[in-house]
């Protein structure tokens, strides 16, 4: 891979995440510090590497035990990736003074997820032919699909994380399970949908459902607690 191809892969890999990042940052009435946003975005990208290592080890073990494709996507991929994206927020956001209102939980989970998706996209693009049409097509597909999915799944967890500060703490586990199953089901239906049939429509339906729920979540948090402190 030459220098230009390398830069092109980075540009088209990161672009989908940057577009969604700018879109979702508008949901925050009191914008987060740019340095903090960049930090979480970078760390979200960084955890791709330990995440992929753990993923590969779990999938290898699951292969030996003959797990189904469904559970490989749920436990071997979605569970691992959602855990590492949340880990960034847990370690670097929850105790930070900049985390000062409930909607921040959704914002920072999305930022971490988009950082993760950006690096994931770049790594995949390194194996794509370095032609503009292929790079642009890949970037567009990831923008509408996998990158969007990463943001929505993590936003789901972020919503329940925000609720857990004011209601039952156990809500965070419900959010984590929902995020994992949204992510895993999307991946599963993408794979089985390649063979045609009704499954080809399921990923789009899941994304649409998630968009509705996340939009409701943003409005609920902003309406219920415009500016609140942490417990």
Read off the pLDDT of residues 128-179 as tens digits, 9 standing for 90 and up: 777 778 888 989 999 999 999 999 999 999 999 999 887 778 899 999 999 9
Where exactly are the structural domains of the chain? 3-224
pLDDT digits (tens, 9 = 90+) for 33-54: 999 999 999 999 999 999 999 9
pTM of the model: 0.92
**Which residue would you say has higher pLDDT here, 74 or 132?**
74
pLDDT digits (tens, 9 = 90+) for 125-138: 988 777 778 888 98
| DSSP H helical ranges for 47-170 | 48-65, 69-71, 79-92, 103-125, 132-144, 146-164
For residue 103, which of 153, 52, 161, 56 has the smallest C-alpha distance? 161
In the block, tokens 């919503």 appear at 159
């Amino acid at each position: 891979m030459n220098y230009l191809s390398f830069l092109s892969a980075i540009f088209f890999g990161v672009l989908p995440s940057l577009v969604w990042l700018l879109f979702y940052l508008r949901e925050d009435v009191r914008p987060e510090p740019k340095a903090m946003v960049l930090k979480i975005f970078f760390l979200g990208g960084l955890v791709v590497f330990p995440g992929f290592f753990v993923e590969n080890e779990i999938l290898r073990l699951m292969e030996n035990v003959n797990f189904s494709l469904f559970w490989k996507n749920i436990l071997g991929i979605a569970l691992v990736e959602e855990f590492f994206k949340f880990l960034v927020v847990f370690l670097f956001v929850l105790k930070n003074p900049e985390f000062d209102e409930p909607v921040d939980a959704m914002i920072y989970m999305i930022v971490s997820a988009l950082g993760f998706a950006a690096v994931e996209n770049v790594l995949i693009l390194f194996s794509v032919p370095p032609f503009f049409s292929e790079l642009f097509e890949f970037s567009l597909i990831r923008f509408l699909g996998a990158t969007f999915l990463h943001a929505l799944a993590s936003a789901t967890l972020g919503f329940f994380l925000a609720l857990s500060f004011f209601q039952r703490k156990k809500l965070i586990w419900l959010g984590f399970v929902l995020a994992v199953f949204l992510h895993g089901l999307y991946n599963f239906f993408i794979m089985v949908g390649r063979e045609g049939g009704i499954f080809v429509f399921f990923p789009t339906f899941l994304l649409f459902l998630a968009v509705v729920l996340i939009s409701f979540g943003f409005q609920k948090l902003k309406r219920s607690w415009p500016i609140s402190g942490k417990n």
